[in-house]
């Protein structure tokens, strides 16, 4: 007589983070740092101003500006982490668009931040 054996419960497949996200997070952080540096350079040498009306007063204070940039970076990565668990392609597109936007901002900042 065979013993009744219970079939193992089905284990849901563990979803793994898309491999491209970590390098894209690093890129986003680097672009945020470059945005900080290029904005501060333009403000310090008088060649530019912060175009974002909300960030204008904050950008005048380096520590506050750095804190906001760090918070924005963390929030973007956190949002992407939430997105990939439901939509892997959507998460990649989201962070790619964020990187593209930041790259455009940084390129503009460096074109303006030349010393007078």
Instruction: Convert the pLDDT of each residue in 81-101 to its tens digit.
Output: 999 999 999 999 999 999 999
CB 112 within 8 A of CB 42: yes
> Structure pTM?
0.83
For 18-74, write each residue's pLDDT tens digit: 999 999 999 999 999 999 999 999 999 888 888 888 999 999 999 999 999 999 999
- Rounded CA-CA distance 84/91 in Å is 5
Run of H or E including 100: helix 88-112
């Amino acid at each position: 007589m065979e013993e009744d054996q219970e079939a193992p419960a089905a284990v849901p497949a563990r979803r793994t983070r898309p491999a491209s996200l970590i390098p894209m997070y690093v890129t986003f952080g680097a672009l945020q740092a470059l945005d900080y540096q290029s904005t501060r350079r333009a403000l310090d040498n008088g060649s530019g101003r912060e175009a974002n009306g909300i960030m204008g007063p904050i950008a005048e204070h380096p520590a506050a500006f750095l804190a906001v940039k760090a918070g924005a970076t963390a929030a973007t990565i956190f949002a992407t982490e939430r997105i990939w668990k439901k939509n892997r392609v959507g998460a990649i597109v989201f962070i790619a668009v964020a990187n593209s936007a930041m790259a455009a901002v940084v390129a503009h900042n460096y074109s303006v931040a030349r010393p007078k």
